[in-house]
Amino acid sequence: SAVISQKPSRDICQRGTSLTIQCQVDSQVTMMFWYRQQPGQSLTLIATANQGSEATYESGFVIDKFPISRPNLTFSTLTVSNMSPEDSSIYLCSGKTGGGYTFGSGTRLTVV
Amino acid sequence: SQQGEEDPQALSIQEGENATMNCSYKTSINNLQWYRQNSGRGLVHLILIRSNEREKHSGRLRVTLDTSKKSSSLLITASRAADTASYFCATDAFQAGTALIFGKGTTLSVSS
């Protein structure tokens, strides 16, 4: 199955700034997904990212706050914009292949 | 969005005991998967059960699926301290290109 390299693994950011998280897949994947995991909670889907088209966002998530890029079939980025302490979470990317789903190791974001 | 509830939310047992976690979901599925997440770490895929299967085993894990009740259970037999983690069910819908949707999870604590 595919392997996803996600970075950074963790970061501490000032409120009002933005952070871009990158996911690199070692093979082509048609669908990529971004999740948020708030402290002590489960994974919540933020958006689905297809190559060459705008991401599809779930209810409660908007493009201005979480812009996503998907320039090719092996790479995607999620930006957390204008951060506030409420954005402190783990962010995970996932890719869907014929063999199933694979996940990045997550980015632990703390906003101070 | 999240599929549904998992119960219990938290479970504390002694080493050697069995642990049973339940998961309910709302929509039709292609398969249901269970994941483990150690504190602050990435997701580990445990087992997948397809919608036409009723029971599946993998080592000390036993998963059941009841599509009529839209529910699944994960049994861990002869638990070990190393099984201490959060466990999540995740459903894969029939539609192509859809993400895994996670349940709320059960936090398992196994004491020696």
Q: What is the DSSP string of chain B?
A: -----EE-SEEEEETTS-EEEEEE--S--SEEEEEEE-TTS-EEEEEEEETT-SEEEETTEEEEEETTTTEEEEEE-S--GGG-EEEEEEEE-SSTTPPPEE---EEEEEE-
Which residues in chain B touch residue A7, judged by CB atoms under 8 angstroms apart? none
Distance (Å) from the alpha carbon of A54 to chain B's nearest alpha carbon: 14
How is residue A69 written in tokens? 């890029």
Which range has the top average pLDDT, B20-29, B39-48, B95-104? B20-29
Compute the distance between CA of residue B81 and CA of residue B77 in angstroms, rounded to an integer: 12
| Angstroms from A58 CA to nearest CA on chain B | 7
3-state secondary structure of A32: strand
**Residues with Cβ < 8 Å from A103, sequence gap 6 or more?**
A4, A92, A93, A94, B42, B43
Residues of chain A with Cβ-Cβ distance to B99 below 8 Å are 31, 33, 35, 45, 48, 94, 96
B69, two tokens: 């009740």
Q: What is the mean pLDDT of residues B81-94?
A: 93
Give B46→chain A minimum CA distance, Å.
Answer: 12
Distance CA A78, CA A91 (A): 9
Between A and B, how many residue pairs show a Cβ–Cβ distance under 8 A? 52
- Over residues B23-39, the mean pLDDT reads 93
Predicted local confidence at residue B1, as pLDDT: 52
pLDDT for the residue B41: 79
Q: Confirm or reject contact between A2 and chain B (CB < 8 A).
A: no
Distances (CA, A) of A4 to A47, A78, B97: 17, 14, 18
C-alpha dihedral (A107, B1, B4, B6), degrees to nearest 10:
10
Q: Inform me whether the pLDDT recorded for B2 exceeds 70.
A: no
Q: What is the pLDDT along chain A (112 residues), one digit of tens a residue?
A: 789 999 999 999 999 999 999 999 999 998 899 999 999 999 999 999 988 788 999 999 999 999 999 999 999 999 999 999 999 999 999 998 877 899 999 999 999 9
Please give the pLDDT value at position A20.
98
**Cα–Cα distance for residue pair A17/A65, rounded to 1 Å:** 11
pLDDT computed for residue A97 by the predictor: 81
For the segment B30-42, the average pLDDT, to the nearest whole number, is: 90
A43 in B contact zone (CB under 8 Å): yes
Sequence-separated (6 or more) residues with CB below 8 Å from residue B96: none
Rounded average pLDDT over B30-53: 92
